[in-house]
């Protein structure tokens, strides 16, 4: 009952995502970080690469499990016996999209609640695409992602 699902594309995971995950762990004893082969966007990292990075950077976080899922997020959530989906909110521009997803997920399964955690100020402007763009142009991303992710991005954009 106390499991929450933190789902995203995590292409790749950033310090902003880890900030949301840490906040969620203050409220939920167990959080399953879930990522999928997304249909809505083409990812730079394969599903396996995204999962591996997520596993590496959450290794020391108690109560965290990393899983891949297929299909609808609400169905995956239900299959784990969970009732909460966690999402992060960075700025007001996230709101419309998140509101649409949360209401659609609620319509698909009214037993499942979406809970939002506000991003820390330092990560308000962070996104995986921006990190990849900065790295591609030779910029320093060491403050934006964990070291393992920085190495993986540098290899990828070489």
Residues designated as active site: 17, 41, 90, 128
Minimum distance between the CB of residue 2 and ligand COA, rounded to whole angstroms? Answer: 21
Pick the closer one to ligand COA by CB: 58 or 119.
119
3-state secondary structure 63-117: CEEEEEECCCHHHHHHHCCCCEEEEEECCHHHHHHHHHHHHHHHHHCCCCEEEEE
Q: 52 in helix, strand or coil?
A: helix
CB of 119 vs ligand COA, minimal distance in Å: 5
Task: Give residue number: closest CB to ligand COA.
Answer: 16
Q: Cβ closer to ligand COA: 93 or 155?
A: 93
Q: Which residues bind ligand COA (CB under 6 A)?
A: 7-9, 11, 14, 16-17, 20, 36, 38, 40, 72-73, 88, 90, 101, 104-105, 119, 123, 126-129
String of b and e for 99-120 (b: at least 16 CB within 10 Å)?
eeebeebeeebeebebebbebb
Q: Which residues 6+ apart lie within 8 Å of 37 measured at CB?
A: 43, 47, 68, 70
């Amino acid at each position: 009952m106390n499991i929450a699902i933190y789902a995203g594309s995590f292409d790749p995971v950033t310090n902003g995502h880890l900030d949301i995950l840490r906040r969620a762990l203050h409220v939920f004893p167990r959080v399953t970080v879930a990522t999928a082969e997304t249909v809505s966007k083409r990812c730079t990292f394969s599903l396996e690469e995204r999962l591996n990075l997520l596993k590496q950077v959450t290794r020391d976080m108690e109560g965290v499990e990393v899983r891949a899922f297929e299909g609808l997020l609400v169905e995956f959530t239900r299959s784990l016996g969970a009732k909460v989906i966690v999402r992060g909110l960075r700025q007001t521009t996230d709101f419309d999209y998140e509101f649409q997803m949360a209401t659609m997920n609620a319509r698909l399964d009214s037993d499942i609640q979406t809970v939002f955690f506000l991003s820390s100020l330092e990560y308000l402007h962070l996104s995986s695409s921006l990190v990849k763009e900065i790295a591609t142009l030779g910029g320093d991303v060491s403050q934006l992602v964990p070291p393992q992710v920085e190495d993986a991005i540098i290899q990828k954009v070489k």
